[in-house]
Amino acid sequence: MPEYKAPLRDIRFVRDELLDYPAHYQSLPGCSEATPETVAAILTEGARFCEAVIAPLNPVGDREGCTWHPEGVTTPQGFREAYQQFVAAGWPSLAHEEAHGGQGLPESLSMAFSEMLATANWAWSMYPGLSHGAMNTLSAHGTPEQQQLYLTRLVSGEWTGTMCLTEAHCGSDLGLLRTRAEPLADGSYRISGTKIFISAGEHDMASNIVHIVLARLPDAPEGTRGISLFIVPRFLPDAQGNPGARNAVSCGAIEHKMGIHGNATCVMNFDGATGFLVGPPNRGLNCMFTFMNVARLGTALQGLAHAELALQGAVRYARERLQMRALNGPQHPELPADPIIVHPDVRRMLLTIKAFAEGNRALIYYAARLVDVVQHSTDDARRQEADELLALLTPIAKAFMTEVGFEAANLGVQVFGGHGYITETGMEQNVRDSRIACIYEGTTGIQALDLLGRKVLMSQGELLKRFTRVIHRFCQAQADNAVLQEFVGPLASLNREWGEATLQIGMSALQNRDEVGAAAVDYRMYSGYICLAYFWADMARVAAEKLAGGSTETTFYTAKLQTARFYYQRILPRTQSHRAAMLAGAGSLMALSAEAFLTDY
C-alpha cells in the first residue's frame, strides 16, 4: 500500500484560498472558535494521527479481515487499539454540540479530518463514520432522554452506531421491508427481523453499539409511509447508563466481500430485541434521511479518498520506475532508461487522477461549506439557498465522485503495470475497496434518478438554477479576464446547454416517463463534469492571481493552471458523449424484450 501523506497544502488551498473558510467561519454563529490557528493545529495533528496510526493498518485489515465467532466479531490486529487512541484524542466529538459533550466545531472541519482518515484507511474509518450519521439523527429527532443516554456516549466515542436499512428481499426499495416492531406495555418495542449489509454491525472496538433500525408497526400503512425508526442497542443500558444485559440482537454472519475486508459487513438478526421509537410513528424514513444524507456525502468522500491514494502511489512509482526512453530522446541519459513519467500516456493517467482528486476535493468542501450554513446561519434566505444547493449537489457528489474515484483507482493500477496487479503495492486493494462506493447509500442509478427526477424535474428546474446561477455569476465576473478565457467561454456555453438539455428531457418525460430513467445516469455524469469544470476554472483563477502577485510557490500554482487546462481539453469533452446519450431517448433501451436478453446457446 502506498505510504499515505496527508495533502495538507492542497487542503489549505481549497479551504482558505478558494473557498475562504476563515471568513466563512467568522460569518456564522457558533463557528467563530474555528480560528485559523485552531484549524491549522487540528489539521496538522489529524494528519499525524492518520499517517502514523491509521494508515499502517490499511494492509493489515485487508490481509486479516474480521473474524466471526458466536460471541461477536474480532477486528484486525491493531484496529481496537487505534480506536482507543482516536477516542482518547477527542476526534469523535469534533463537530458535535457542546451540550452533548462535543467540541462545537463546524461540520466542514470534521469533513477535512474525515478525508484524511478515509484515505489513510477506508475500512477502519467506517467504524466511527457510521456513528456520525447516528449522532446527527438522534440530535435532530431523539428525545432529550435519548440524547442524554445515547447521544452523549456516541459523541464521546465510547459507543458506536450503525444504520440498519437493507433486507435480503429489498435494497433501495425500503417500502418492501418486513422487520416488525411490536409495542410493549412499558413503551418499548419488540423488534424482529433480519438486516443485511450492515457496516460495522458487530465489532470489539467499543463497549456498546447503537443500531438505528427501520421497522414496521402492526397497524402501519403499506409502503414507505408505514416505516418507523428505532434505537436498538447491542447491550441494554442499566440504571447508570452503562452497558447491561445483552439485547436480542446478534451478528449471524460476516459478508465475504470484494474489498474493505477490515470492516465487518454483517447480517444482523433482531430476535425480539428491545427497541425504542425515534421520532413520530410511521415517519421513520423522513427521520432516516438525516442519516442518509450525511452518509451520502461521506460516501462521496470515499471517491476522493481512493483517487488521492491512487495519485500518491502512482506519482511516486512513475517518478522512480525506469522503462524505455522518451520519444523525443533520453531525458535522463545518466540512467539506463527514463522514468515512466516522461511518457505521454503515463502523463494522461496521472493527470486524470490528479484532476479528479483535486477537483472533487473542491466539490466536497464546497458542499461541506453549505452544510455549515444550513446548520448555523440565522439568515433564513441564506440557509434556504444553501439547503437547496446541497439538495442538488448531494446526489451529484455521491454518484459522480465515486464513479470517477473508481476510475482513478483503476488508472493507479495501470500506471504500475504488472506491479499494480499484485498485492504488495496495495494498488489492487485500492480498486477493490473503492468499488463498493458506487453501490451503497444508493447506487449510481438510484442517485441519478434522485438528481434528475426528484431534484431537477420535480422542482421544475429551480434547484438546478440555484447552481447554474453560481456558474453564470462567475463567468460574468471573469468575462474580461484574459487569463481565464480558455475556461470561461466553454464553461458559460456548457452552463447554458445544461439548462437546455434538461428542458428537452423534461418535455420528453411528459410523454414517456421512461425517458427520465433512460437519461438519468448520463445526465448525472454530464452534470458532474460541468460541476468540476466550474471548480477547476475557479481554481485556475486563484492560481493565476497568486502567480501574478509574485508568489514564490510557482510550482504549486502553475500545476493548478496546467491541470485545469488538461481537464478542459482532455476530460470535459466527455460531456458531449453523455449529452448525446441522454438525449437519445428510451427507445433503444426499452425495445428489446426481456426474453431476448438470453438466448439458447
Judge contact between 14 and 365, C-beta under 8 A.
yes
Q: Cell numbers at residue 449, please?
A: 434518478
DSSP per residue over 362-422, as a string?
Answer: HHHHHHHHHHHHHHH---HHHHHHHHHHHHHHHHHHHHHHHHHHHHHHHHHHHHHTHHHHS
Nearest-angstrom CA–CA distance, 113 and 93:
12
Sequence-distant (6+) residues with CB within 8 A of 390 are 367, 370, 371, 374
Sequence-distant (6+) residues with CB within 8 A of 500 are none
Judge contact between 499 and 533, C-beta under 8 A.
no
Beta strands in 234-350 (DSSP E): 235-237, 243-246, 249-254, 265-278
DSSP per residue over 197-234, as a string?
Answer: EEET-S-SSSSEEEEEEEEB-TTPPSGGGG-EEEEEES
- Cα separation values, 235 from 202, 211, 229, 316, Å: 12, 10, 18, 47
Q: Cell numbers at residue 103, please?
A: 467540541
- Cα separation values, 482 from 148, 470, 486, 491, Å: 58, 20, 9, 15
Angle at 291 between CA 248 and CA 142, to 5 degrees: 65
Q: Which position among 167, 385, 441, 515 bears the catalytic label?
A: 441
Judge contact between 259 and 436, C-beta under 8 A.
yes
Beta strands in 540-596 (DSSP E): none
Q: What is the CA radius of gyration of the chain?
A: 24
The C-alpha torsion from 361 through 367 and 369 to 374, rounded to 10°, is -170
Q: Cell numbers at residue 64, please?
A: 486479516
Closest-CA residue to 433 (of 58, 5, 149): 58
For helices 380-416 and 427-435, the axis angle rounded to 10 degrees is 140
- The yes-or-no answer on residue 428 being catalytic is no
- Count other Cβ atoms within 10 Å, centred on residue 226: 17
Closest-CA residue to 25 (of 137, 146, 128, 107): 107
Q: Cell numbers at residue 78, please?
A: 491493531
Sign of CA dihedral 200, 202, 205, 207: positive
- Cα separation values, 407 from 269, 287, 311, 529, Å: 36, 34, 12, 14
Judge contact between 190 and 213, C-beta under 8 A.
no
> Which sequence positions are flagged as catalytic?
441
